Amino acid sequence: MIDKTYPSVAEAVADIPDGATVMVGGFGASGSPVELLHALIDQGASDLTVINNNTGNAEVGLAALIGNGQVKKMICSFPRSSQSRVFPKLYREGKIELEVVPQGTLAERIRAAGAGIPAFYTPTSVGTVLAEGKEVREFDGRPYVMEPWLKADFALIKCAVADPLGNLTYNKTARNFSPLMCMAAKTTIVQTGQLVARGGIDPEHVVTPGIFVNRIVEVPHPVHEDTLIAEGRSYP
Amino acid sequence: MSTGWTREQMAARAALDIPDGSYVNLGIGIPELVTRFVPEGREFIYHTENGMLGMGPPPDDEHRDLDLMNAGKKYVTALPGAAYFHHADSFSMIRGGHIDVCVLGTMQVAANGDIANWSTGAPDAIPAVGGAMDLVQGVRNIFVITQHTTRNGDPKLVERCSYPLTGVGVVSRVFTDLAVVDITPDGFRVVELAPGVSFDDVQERTGAAILPPEEQCEGREND
């Protein structure tokens, strides 16, 4: 019987090597896989390229991974927010690279990778600095910019409910990029608040089918990034 | 001269131009006030690009869910009939032309409809685009709500944007504290003046030529 469950977050992230490209689910604090990120800090892999919509908040989760010097490059749409301090400092010191991608283009590049489509044309960014150097082609008389797929070696994902096959459901707007990232990474690692037996999720309600998931760790009552920040916590 | 419209009045004026049943995406700042001025008898359905249609007002502390936020990362609620979806679907709604109206703030808007609202281009600025470029290209009607000038008195309605562009030729209508202004093939045209504001007041504070309201044709009442 197929069973993709892992006993701990530490074991689930143990083989992420230096130099890996890692997608991290979440939009701001919602959907951020905090326990998996902290396990990756404990594990210590460095020179990572990380793909997320943002760059983390305060000194926990993704921001802590960046602050620990493990990330050489961020690919994101919005690298600053009111609670984001670690990335802006390193960026201004020239210690971390940044690729800014419009949010919809970021989502579609990730989706394209998962769908086996190497590139696509989008109207987004036409005529702006973010289209400079990129191929532009007209369709029906309107210009479109070519954007390539965006793949990853690993994805770190938080979900609400999973079964041992990796079928997943999410909670509200914590879904965001996660279903796309599950498709686009060679190895998708998921922390779930609740692990149920096969059949425990109605097939009609599955959001991410298990074929896109490789490893599942149950993390009951996961901490929320916003809670850690409100408590003034930092990691490690 | 008069101070013109307040932030609330600008939002209320913009809401008047949004048809009943519209799917609407609101930017951060003054555009968020639009929800308070939905005209009687109309319903707008709010889209938030982080994955929800049917967004409702902020929750009280008791009903707050940390996983339910808007694109500005503020806690919100889901109204009956709401739907959640992932980011590729959310931006398919935007890019695919399914969202009717987007109301945005801006740093500059040009007479040809160009908009610059994501970066000053300053050397020490950290570029952060979010969903702005997708919204301006994909949503059918791009409305802008903005003060007519900056705090320093510089025009925000200009001949050509000096800041890096968000999109080219995408804005249809601008709601400022002084006037409602359309982007036409001939450039800016005043549609409506705020009470106590003259056309000359508006021209003086606009960084490009601006056309007066179109003459009301006489004797056309029976057409």
Q: Are B124 and A92 in contact (CB under 8 A)?
A: yes
| pLDDT of B195 strictly over 90 | yes
> Are the beta carbons of A123 and B84 separated by less than 8 Å?
no
Find, in chain B, the residue whose alpha carbon is nearest to that of A80: B128
Query: Helices A103-115 & B87-95, crossing angle to 10 degrees?
Result: 120
Which are the contacts of B57, defined by CB distance < 8 A and separation ≥ 6?
Answer: B35, B76, B77
> Are the beta carbons of A123 and B95 separated by less than 8 Å?
yes
Residue A234 touches chain B, beta carbons under 8 Å: no
Nearest to B28 by CA among B43, B49, B9, B42: B49
pLDDT band at B3 (very low <50, low <70, confident <90, very high): confident
Query: What pLDDT does residue A48 have?
Result: 98
Nearest to A109 by CA among A53, A39, A174: A53
Task: List, for residues B139-184, the tens digit of each pLDDT value.
Answer: 999 999 999 999 999 999 999 999 999 999 999 999 999 999 999 9
Residue A226 touches chain B, beta carbons under 8 Å: yes
User: Strand runs (DSSP E) across A111-184, as ranges?
Assistant: 119-122, 136-139, 142-148, 152-162, 168-169
Q: Are B10 and B145 in contact (CB under 8 A)?
A: yes
Tell me the chain B residues in contact with residue A221 when contact means C-beta distances shorter than 8 Å. Answer: none
Nearest to A28 by CA among A207, A157, A176: A176
Task: List, for residues A15-56, the tens digit of each pLDDT value.
Answer: 999 999 999 999 999 999 999 999 999 999 999 999 999 999
| pLDDT of B1 strictly over 50 | no
SS3 B121: coil
Point out the catalytic residue in the list B8, B40, B43, B49.
B49
pLDDT band at B219 (very low <50, low <70, confident <90, very high): very low
Task: List, for residues B101-153, the tens digit of each pLDDT value.
Answer: 999 999 999 999 999 999 988 888 888 999 999 999 999 999 999 999 999 99
Three-state SS across A112-136? HHHHCCCEEEECCCCCCHHHCCCCE
Task: List, for residues B58-96, the tens digit of each pLDDT value.
Answer: 999 898 999 999 998 999 999 999 999 999 999 999 999
CA distance B183 to B196: 23
Q: How many CA atoms lie within 13 A of B48 on its CB side?
A: 31
CA distance B46 to B71: 12
CA distance B186 to A131: 27
pLDDT band at B216 (very low <50, low <70, confident <90, very high): low
Residue B217 gets which letter from DSSP? P
User: Cβ–Cβ contacts within 10 Å for residue B26, how many?
Assistant: 28
Find, in chain A, the residue whose alpha carbon is nearest to that of B68: A173
Structure tokens at B193: 């003046």
Is the backbone of residue B7 left (phi > 0), alpha (psi -120 to 50) or beta? alpha
* CA-based nearest distance A108→chain B, Å: 6
Tell me the chain B residues in contact with residue A207 when contact means C-beta distances shorter than 8 Å. Answer: 86
Q: E strand or H helix at A89, and its extent?
A: helix A86-92
Among B64, B67, B163, the residue to mutate for chain A (most A Cβ within 10 A): B67
Active site residue B49: yes
Amino acid at A132: E
Distances (CA, A) of A213 to A151, A163, A183, A194, A216: 15, 11, 8, 16, 8
Q: Are A145 and A135 in contact (CB under 8 A)?
A: yes
Structure tokens at A147: 């954007």
Q: Are B90 and A103 in contact (CB under 8 A)?
A: no
| pLDDT of B2 strictly over 60 | no
* CA-based nearest distance B38→chain A, Å: 25
Structure tokens at A166: 């990796």
Q: Are B22 and B101 in contact (CB under 8 A)?
A: yes
Find, in chain B, the residue whose alpha carbon is nearest to that of A159: B67
* CA-based nearest distance B203→chain A, Å: 28
Measured in whole angstroms, how far is the alpha carbon of residue B103 from the centre of its chain? 3
- Mean pLDDT value across chain A: 97
Among B47, B50, B135, the residue to mutate for chain A (most A Cβ within 10 A): B50
Among A129, A173, A208, A229, the residue to mutate for chain B (most B Cβ within 10 A): A173
Choose between B219 and B172: higher pLDDT. B172
Q: Are A57 and A225 in contact (CB under 8 A)?
A: yes
CA atoms A156, A159, A163, A165: torsion sign: negative
CATH code that applies to domain B7-32+96-211:
3.40.1080.10
Residue B214 gets which letter from DSSP? P
Domain residue limits, chain B: 7-32+96-211
Delineate the domains of chain A, giving CATH numbers in brackets. 16-117+148-204+215-230 (3.40.1080.10)
Nearest to A30 among B67, B134, B138 (CB): B67
What mean pLDDT do residues A58-66 have? 96
Nearest to A28 among B69, B128, B134 (CB): B69
Nearest to B144 by CA among B164, B114, B122, B165: B114
